Structure 1
Amino acid sequence: AKANFAVSYKRMLLTLSPRLCSALGIDNDPEVICEINAGAPGTYDAEVERLFKVFRVEFAPRVTSFALALSEEERFSVLAALNREVEVATREAAEKLAALSPPDGRVDDHKILLTFLEDTGKTASAITVAGEERDDSKIEQLFTQSGTVFEAAGAAISCEYSETLLHGIFRDCVS
């Protein structure tokens, strides 16, 4: 419930003007970025920035709201409550990104980000199935796999794309 409340509140913030969003936002919350700085409305850069802002709001609270340290029963309950929404958020972000046409200088990074979203979605679906099957060891393996997918994207994507359009979500990006 806490994660879904956080998502709802952050969704609401994204509908406000940048000034009001900032005033009502949670200080230093990396998931709520009120400004669109990457380009003029309708451009590829602005659309990717907006798409990823929404994705982060939908995704991050649901995957960081619990840890593997929960008991098995607690973990299965949390997965049942949250993971379908993770799948939906990831699928929607991948579909929206796939519909965009990157300019020549963005093609490689576009493909990397799309692969990240698709692989994250596949892993989320597998986590849902493992949760339904109550396969705790498979869940742990899949959470590790999810981290590997994230790290691979962070290592491959250009720092300029990550910092400008994605607001540094791939924190290990070093220029």
Structure 2
Amino acid sequence: MAKWLVKSEPDECGIDDFARDPQGVIPWDGVRNYQARNFLAQMQEGDEVFIYHSSCKHIGIAGIVRVAKSAYPDPLQFDPDSRYFDAKSSPDKPRWQAVDLSFVRKLPKLISLDRIKSLQGLTDLPLVRKGTRLSVMPVSDHDWETILTLDATPNGH
């Protein structure tokens, strides 16, 4: 199973949205970056995903979700009323992907970006590389486990 990190503004869709309906799924759609789209296309059912809150007061990893449905064409690309509509996309040649995510758990404390950056050995994690602004990115098994150790430490926030 692969591991991932997805960024979201919590007022748009955050870990609390998943926690409100732990049996439900939320489509992860509206991604409009080609590299991020390619990562979405690689996600498989059962993969684990960090939910990273961005563009907010408290930035960092807030919880874990799981891929409930592998990549499928993002329906928003075909909806002319959606801000994610893409006139160049068609049902027989979709340009954008979505996945369905389901709740696993909310972390007891947000793991801040500063705390993540302070860890040794996460130099391959795209999140801590300068100039990387992707909304979807892979996380190695090593980096996943290293980050989760922060969940158990008092300074996780």
TM range (shorter): under 0.3
More relative contact order in 1 or in 2 (CA 8 Å, sep 6+)?
2
TM-score by length of 2: 0.24
Q: Which has the higher strand share?
A: 2
TM-score by length of 1: 0.22
* Structure ID, larger Rg: 1
